[in-house]
A and B are shown apart, each in its own frame.
Chain A
Amino acid sequence: MGPQHPSTHGVLRVKLKLDGERVIGSECIIGYLHRGVEKIAENRTYQQFAPYVDRMDYVAAVSSGLGYCEAVEKLLVVEAPPRARVIRTILTELQRIASHLLWLGTHALDIGALTPLFYCFREREEILKIFEKYCGARLTTHAFRIGGLQYEAYDTLEKDVERFCKDFESRIVEYETLLTQNRIWIGRTKGVGILTAADAIAFGVTGPVLRASGVKWDIRKAMPYAAYDQYKFEIPVGTTGDTYDRYLVRMEEMRQSRLICLQAIENIPSGPIMGKVGKVLKPPPGEVYHAIEAPKGEIGYYIVSDGTVQPYRVHIRPPSFINLQAFDRMVRGHLVADVVAIIGTIDIVLGEVDR
């Protein structure tokens, strides 16, 4: 299958070993979108590299950007001011909703339900409009800067977010009406691509896929960053770790993200939006690993500084790459038609798998 198959969400090639219609083995061939992001990083300054991370997971650029900015801040031993942290949290949670909406729309489309796509894109559009109003870009936003934010929140940001959140409550119900009790949907997803908790941990799987396997772990709670320690939210978990569970977990995550946004706009602290960082960044020699909970899982940045303006080494731990590794375990024994459902349920973005 692939690399130009519509269900692979980009350029993923999967070699399948079949016994009739049944999959008895698989191998993922990746790298079609490899751009050498980590090499580029070594030849740019810290600020110059920031926009590149948006081009990895290009449907959740805000989250990748947050991870990178926070990692460099840690390396510099500075912190973003409270106002910046709260605005970052709001935008990142909106991004999570947008990413999950894109996943839901395309995943349902892959399995044969055409309708949800249109609804999902309608709401996603509202989020992209907020991004556009905030920083001028819709996808590769480069919304944050090392040390804080470049742009002050625009006047009606709170209002826009509030309006979106108000509408969105009933919109999730609409999606659920289409799918949750739908017999075809249940037939195509229940019991498909089961990943046990032990396997998930062994394969380093993170994010909604890990939680659907019943492991209650979310970096936003375990090692809070940005302003997550100020807000109340639940971590949804699944029980069997099948495709249906992963669907339910992501649906609930969108609800929780909506709640976080509502709490955050209640009280955005005033004050500066940029911490005290110089125009030229020269982090003291040393290294740091910083990870955040991106919509797809743990995105980690391991950055080594040699005290110059360019990073000595930047390594990115991409959730899509690592989660995709569990694909083989999930697909064995299923039918060819289920392969499509399983690729969709891992929620990969090839830009991030290949970097």
Chain B
Amino acid sequence: MADESKEPKPVHVPTGDKPASSTPPVSTPSGKPADASAPAAPPKPPAPAAPKPPVVLQTPLDNEFVTRFRAKFGAALLEAMEDRKQAILIVERARLVEIALHLRDDEKFDMLSDLTAVDWPKRDRRFEVVLNVYSFAKNERLRLKVLAADAEEVPSVVGVWPTANWQEREVFDMFGIVFSGHPDLKRILLPDEWQGYPLRKDYDILQQDTAWVRENLGIESGQ
């Protein structure tokens, strides 16, 4: 078992006649011919797999789109990469709205599927705000990221994609990230008076706003 834990490696499961058009293809970089799919002798496959070169899942992204993007925004593009065949752009926070407009109007990423954040407390800029956009015309997804430190505000994209309204409120609610220019930034899932931002990494899973719980629910703890 301890052995197995070390190998979340790409195992190529023979998928028969699966046409190339299936799910955005799961990359199988090492392409191990694990065709002995049958319950066959398990000792064999792991043996050659041991000195396997480290799987590279993140690679720099450099395609036509990125070239175009870099030509237009230059230094505002901090990094372009690919993770498991999904494109990711890290861009300058201050120019987010301008970039969003460009993506929506010129690159046809007309739908914002999802907006969220990730907290990395040990980094210089602890928050990553993540936007997943989709283009109907190209049938493509793109992930856009901006970085923000604790007290730094992130420009709101509600003016570009109105759907960002509730999603930015949720991020504010859970992480305390302030979106400048948001029309009505207030908590959405938690009570308005709640203290603390639960999805920050320094907010323990058992932590709660005890004062609020006592006052409003009349109990000592909601746990």
Contacts and interface: CB of A to CB of B under 8 A. Distances in A.
B163 A275 contact: no
B21 A224 contact: yes
Nearest to B189: A31
Contact of A317 (B24, B114, B189, B203): B114
Contacts, number: 153
Given A77-B27, A78-B26, A302 B18 contact: no
A286 B199 contact: no
A82 B143 CA distance: 29
A249 B84 CA distance: 34
Contacts of A304: 118
A173 to B, nearest CB: 34
Given A204-B112, A276-B11, A289-B86, A282 B166 contact: no
Interface stretch (B1-9, B65-73, B90-98, B209-217): B1-9
A313 B118 contact: yes
A223 to B, nearest CB: 6
A312 B13 contact: no
Nearest to A313: B118
A312 B118 contact: yes
A277 B10 CA distance: 9
B57 interface: yes
A287 B88 CA distance: 10
Contacts of B174: 38
A223 B34 CA distance: 26
Contacts of B21: 224, 229
A282 B28 contact: no
A201 B163 CA distance: 9
Interface string A265-306: 000010110011111111110111101000000101010100
A185 interface: no
Contact of B26 (A74, A269, A277): A74
B188 A229 contact: no
Chain A interface size, under 10 / 10 to 19 / 20 to 34 / 35 or more: 35 or more
Interface in B140-193: 141, 143, 161-163, 165-167, 174, 187-191
A37 B143 CA distance: 23
A217 B111 CA distance: 12
A76 interface: yes
Contact of B143 (A70, A75, A289): A289
B84 A77 contact: yes
Interface in B46-88: 55, 57-58, 83-84, 86, 88
A43 interface: yes
B163 A77 contact: no
A322 B5 contact: no
Nearest to B42: A276
Interface string A66-89: 000010011111111110000000
A187 interface: no
A325 B114 CA distance: 13
Nearest to A44: B205
Interface in A73-112: 73-82
Given A75-B84, A224-B23, A302-B114, A201 B136 contact: yes
Tell me if B's interface is mostly helix, strand, loop or mixed.
loop
Given A201-B111, A203-B163, A286-B84, A78 B13 contact: yes
A160 B13 CA distance: 30
Contact of B10 (A77, A313, A355): A77
A92 to B, nearest CB: 14
A150 B6 CA distance: 22
A218 B79 CA distance: 31
Contacts of A202: 161-163
A315 interface: yes
Contact of A31 (B10, B19, B112, B188): B188
Contact of A39 (B88, B165, B198): B198
Interface in A182-228: 201-205, 215, 217, 222-225
Nearest to A292: B23
Interface in B108-122: 110-114, 116, 118-119
Contact of A325 (B9, B166, B187, B189): B166
- In this complex, the member of B114, B187, B191, B203 whose beta carbon has the largest number of chain A beta carbons within 10 angstroms is B114
Given A204-B163, A312-B118, A39 B139 contact: no
A82 B16 contact: yes
A121 interface: no
A178 interface: no
Interface in A28-47: 30-31, 34, 36, 38-40, 42-43
A79 B189 contact: no
13 contacts: A30-B189, A31-B191, A39-B205, A81-B37, A225-B22, A272-B37, A280-B4, A288-B86, A300-B114, A313-B119, A315-B130, A317-B114, A322-B166
Q: Please provide the 10 A-B residue pairs with the shortest distance between their CB atoms, ordered closest to farther.
A: A204-B163, A278-B4, A280-B5, A31-B189, A77-B10, A276-B11, A317-B114, A315-B116, A34-B189, A286-B83
Interface of B: 1, 4-11, 13, 15-16, 18-19, 21-24, 26-28, 34, 37, 39, 55, 57-58, 83-84, 86, 88, 110-114, 116, 118-119, 130, 132, 136, 139, 141, 143, 161-163, 165-167, 174, 187-191, 198-199, 203, 205
